[in-house]
Amino acid sequence: MVISLTGFMGCGKSSVGRRLSELLCCPFMDLDEVIEKKTGRSIPAIFAEEGEDVFRKIEAKTLSDILYEADRADSPEGNEITVLSLGGGTVVRKECSEMVHSHTICIYLRASVDTLIRHLEGETHGRPMLEGNIRERITGLMSQRASIYESTAHKIIDTDGKTVEEVADNILAIFEP
C-alpha cells in the first residue's frame, strides 16, 4: 500500500511524509528526489535544459515505475506500506492523477496561499514554477490546481497553523480503527 501526499509546493509533503514514515516504521520516498537520482540532474536543471513538458514525462514514468514496484511488493503476508511525497505539479498531468488515485491512498495537504508564501518566501531558488511575483504565481497556480488536488485525493487535511507532527497525527488517525 502506498500513502501518497499531494499539494502545492511548500505545504509540507516531504516533512510530513518523513515523519509519517517514522511513525509507521515504513519506507519514505520523495518523487523529486527519485527523479534527481534516476536522471543524475536536479529538477531545475531538467526544467532549464529540456522544459516542463519533458520533466512531466520523466515524472510520469518515474511515478509509474514506483507504483509498479510497490504493487509487486504488496502481498497478503507482508502488505508493506510506503509513504510517497509527490511533486507539487505531479497530479496536474491526467495520467499521473489517475495513477495516484487508483494505486495509492492519496492525502491532499491543503494550505492557504498565505501559509504557502510564509513557507516558500526566501526559498524560491530551485523552484522553476515560482519565478516572478510569489503571491501572483502561487495564487494563479493554486486556482488551476486546487480542484485537481481535491479530485485526486481520498482525504484532505488542512495544514494551516499545524505542525508537521500534528499533520502526521491527523493522517495516522485516518487509518486507525
pTM for this predicted structure: 0.90
Residue 42 forms part of a structural domain: yes
pLDDT of residue 78 exceeding 70: no
Task: Provide the domain count of the chain.
Answer: 1
Residue 168 forms part of a structural domain: yes
Residue 177 forms part of a structural domain: no
pLDDT of residue 79 exceeding 80: no
Q: How far is CA 113 from CA 32, 58, 108, 119, 122, in A?
A: 22, 28, 15, 10, 15
Q: What is the pLDDT of residues 44-54, one digit of tens each?
A: 899 889 988 99
Q: Which of 10-19, 43-52, 75-84, 99-108 has the lowest mean pLDDT?
A: 75-84
* Residue 111 near residue 8 (C-beta atoms within 8 A): yes
Task: Tell me the residue ranges of DSSP E strands in the chain.
Answer: 2-6, 28-30, 82-85, 105-110, 155-158
Residue 24 forms part of a structural domain: yes
Q: How far is CA 76 from CA 31, 79, 150, 151, in A?
A: 26, 6, 30, 29
Residue 51 or 73, more confident? 51
CATH number of the domain where residue 91 is located: 3.40.50.300
* Residue 153 near residue 108 (C-beta atoms within 8 A): yes
Mean pLDDT score of the chain, rounded to an integer? 89
Residue 111 or 9, more confident? 111
Residue 79 forms part of a structural domain: yes
Which of these, 135, 151, 142, lies nearest to 8 by C-alpha position?
142
Residue 101 forms part of a structural domain: yes
Residue 20 forms part of a structural domain: yes
- What is the model's pLDDT at position 164? 96
- How sure is the predictor about 125, in pLDDT bands with cuts at 50, 70 and 90? low
- What is the model's pLDDT at position 119? 84
Q: Which domain holds residue 126?
A: 2-172
Residue 103 forms part of a structural domain: yes
Q: What is the DSSP letter of 156?
A: E
Q: DSSP letters of 118-138?
A: HHHTT--TT-GGG-S-HHHHH
Q: What is the pLDDT of residues 11-64, one digit of tens each?
A: 999 999 999 999 999 999 999 999 999 999 998 899 889 988 999 999 999 999
Residue 137 or 3, more confident? 3
